[in-house]
């Protein structure tokens, strides 16, 4: 049976898995203690639950539980990782390397660091969203302390070769930080095998609760330290003060445990649906896939439909299908996506893009419905578009001089 509306915006957030909800419930009602209360059973029980969740989270990424610092989400973890390294390693240098397609949580943190006197190099990406590894290595200077590159892009799903990036960082004695929000729980991650020094991720992108995330901080080879950005009672080994969100952390742990069990099965099923969606929509004329198709997340595709306005497209079916045009974190603005612009897309293609993020609860019926709804809407909008008419008549739209108002 087809259930409407259809949710295909899993890169923005995921629905909570009922098993996660079930694990969290007691910590709202009966076991409501503060994990820092060491004098009575309520506190002990909460602390025990946090310790267990820390093990579950660490296990998913191949880390030691002591390397997991709980935060309010990936945005805070990005800030703590980048600003924390910048302050802690100030004597070694002040140069950070990142990319133009990073999430705003990283880009805006880097802008803040520039105001503090830091130096940031923003690497351009290739047309498929990948990093030129030679350009990355060439950007390293004696003052470089950190390379910050997202493991997978939230808008186009392009997955970067972290092992190769890590090898470059290690060769030059530079720390590697990655925003892995879109990756953890979706594809296998092992911080040791992949050579990651610091990594941010979040529960709500992997069927866990909102408002809780983690920063992985390597403890040996090398031992990494970050300066706290929130001061208080010295929680989380002094790196992040504040009363722990016990129910959230319990849910995060459970979400990680489920991801370990279900990842392979989820990936196999979801990628088949994604490929079907993509194959059918690419039958439309002038449809283009954005980002790499060989190195990307299994549940994401980003497609531009030329000569159609993305916002208009969304309005055509957004009562029944939840999608995003551009990135959810910045979609309040009508500017075309900066990520798509960085790939070299013109405004016309950048404005006409839709991001599809499938998930654990997406069904075949929903994909069939989506294919038909989007195809019908694109065709209908194009029939009303003078640009489409001109394109069909063979007029080169780039050569037209538009009259100014």
Of 275, 345, 363, 253, the C-alpha closest to 8 is: 363
Question: Cα separation of 199 and 247, whole Å?
Answer: 22
What tokens appear for 158 in the block? 């392009």
192/202 Cα distance (integer angstroms): 19
d(CA 125, CA 132): 7
In degrees, to the nearest 5, what angle opens at C-alpha 89 toward C-alphas 107 and 192?
Answer: 75
**For residue 291, what are its two tokens?**
């980002």
Residue 329: active-site member: yes
CA distance 49 to 388: 59
Tokens of 251: 């849910």
Exactly one of 329, 371, 373, 387 is catalytic; name it.
329
Radius of gyration of the chain (CA): 22
Where b means 16+ CB within 10 Å and e means fewer, 229-250 reads beeeeebbeebbebebbbbbbb
Cα–Cα distance measured from residue 250 to residue 213, given in angstroms and rounded to the nearest whole number: 11
The sign of the torsion formed by the CA atoms of 119, 165, 151, 324 equals: positive
For 288-299, b where at least 16 C-beta lie within 10 A, e where not — what string?
ebbbbeeebbbb
Burial of 99 (0-12, 13-18, 19+ CB in 10 A): buried
In the numeric block, the tokens 């004098």 are attached to: 39
Backbone angles phi, psi at 363, to 5 degrees: -115, 160
Tell which residue, 104, 112, 98, 100, has the closest CA to residue 144: 98
Q: In the structure encoding, which two tokens stand for residue 20, read together?
A: 């996660």
Task: Please give the backbone phi and psi of residue 398, each rounded to the nearest 5 degrees, phi first.
Answer: -70, -20
- Please list the active-site residues: 329
């Amino acid at each position: 049976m087809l259930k409407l509306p259809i949710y295909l915006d899993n890169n923005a957030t995921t629905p909570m898995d009922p098993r996660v909800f079930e694990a969290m419930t007691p910590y709202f009602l009966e076991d409501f203690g503060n994990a820092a209360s060491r004098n009575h059973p309520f506190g002990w029980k909460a602390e025990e639950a946090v310790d267990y969740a820390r093990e579950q989270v660490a296990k998913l990424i191949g880390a030691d539980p002591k390397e997991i610092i709980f935060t309010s989400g990936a945005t805070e973890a990005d800030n703590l990782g980048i600003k924390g390294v910048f302050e802690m390693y100030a004597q070694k240098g002040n140069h950070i390397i990142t990319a133009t397609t990073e999430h705003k949580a990283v880009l805006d943190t880097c802008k803040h660091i520039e105001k503090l006197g830091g130096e940031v190099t923003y690497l351009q990406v290739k047309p498929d969203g990948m990093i030129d590894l030679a350009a990355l290595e060439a950007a390293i200077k004696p003052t470089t302390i950190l390379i910050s590159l997202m493991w997978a892009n939230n808008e186009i799903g392009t997955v970067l070769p972290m092992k190769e990036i890590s090898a470059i960082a290690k060769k030059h004695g530079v720390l590697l930080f990655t925003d892995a929000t879109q990756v953890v729980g979706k594809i296998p991650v092992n911080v040791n095998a992949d050579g990651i020094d610091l990594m941010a991720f979040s529960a709500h992108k992997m069927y866990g609760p909102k408002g809780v995330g983690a920063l992985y901080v390597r403890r040996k080879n090398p031992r990494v330290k970050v300066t706290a950005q929130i001061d208080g009672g010295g929680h989380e080994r002094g790196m992040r003060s504040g009363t722990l969100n016990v129910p959230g952390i319990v849910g995060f742990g459970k979400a990680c445990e489920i991801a370990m069990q279900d990842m392979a099965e989820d990936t196999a099923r979801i990628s088949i649906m994604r490929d079907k969606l993509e194959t059918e929509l690419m039958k439309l004329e002038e449809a283009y896939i954005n980002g790499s198709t060989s190195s990307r997340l299994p549940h994401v595709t980003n497609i531009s439909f030329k000569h159609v306005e993305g916002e208009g497209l969304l309005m055509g079916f957004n009562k029944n299908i939840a999608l995003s045009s551009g990135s959810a974190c910045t979609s309040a603005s009508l500017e075309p996506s900066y990520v798509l612009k960085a790939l070299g897309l013109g405004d016309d293609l950048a404005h006409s893009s839709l991001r599809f993020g499938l998930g654990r609860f997406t069904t075949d019926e929903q994909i069939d419905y989506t294919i038909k709804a989007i195809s019908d809407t694109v065709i209908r909008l194009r029939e009303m578009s003078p640009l489409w008419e001109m394109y069909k008549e063979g007029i080169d739209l780039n050569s037209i001089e538009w009259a100014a108002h």
